[in-house]
Amino acid sequence: MAQEQTPAQVAKTATTQSNATLDGLILLGTFGSNAAPRAMVRTSKGETVTLKIGDRIGRNPIVAIEDGRLAYAKGGAMQWLRQPVN
């Protein structure tokens, strides 16, 4: 079965531009309970991974996951990664 082309107006309405750059780590979303939060990120290699507190981004441990943001320890300081906004 052939797939039909999406009408231009439908594509325009359904598509939003993001301010995210695609050359680094991007937080796609956070989910789970307060007791077991998770974060989904896109790596600079284009892979999508799910992380939990204690996992690592490179050598940097994930220390917190909150609604729409993830914190990791780097050089003795906490760095926050936030979801891109439109």
Q: What is the CATH number of the domain that holds 69?
A: 2.30.30.830
- Total domains, the chain: 1
Q: What's the N-to-C CA distance of the chain in angstroms?
A: 35
35 domain residue, yes or no: yes
8 domain residue, yes or no: no
DSSP codes, 15-65: -------SSS-EEEEEEE-SSSEEEEEE-TTS-EEEEETT-EETTEEEEEE
Contacts of residue 30, Cβ cutoff 8 Å, sequence gap at least 6: 37, 38, 39, 40, 65, 66, 67, 68, 69, 70, 83
Better-predicted residue by pLDDT, 20 or 25? 25
Domain hosting residue 42, numbered range: 18-82
Most confident of 4-13, 22-31, 48-57: 48-57
7 domain residue, yes or no: no
67 domain residue, yes or no: yes
Does the structure show a pLDDT above 60 at 20?
no
Tell me the pTM: 0.71
Average pLDDT over residues 38-44: 92
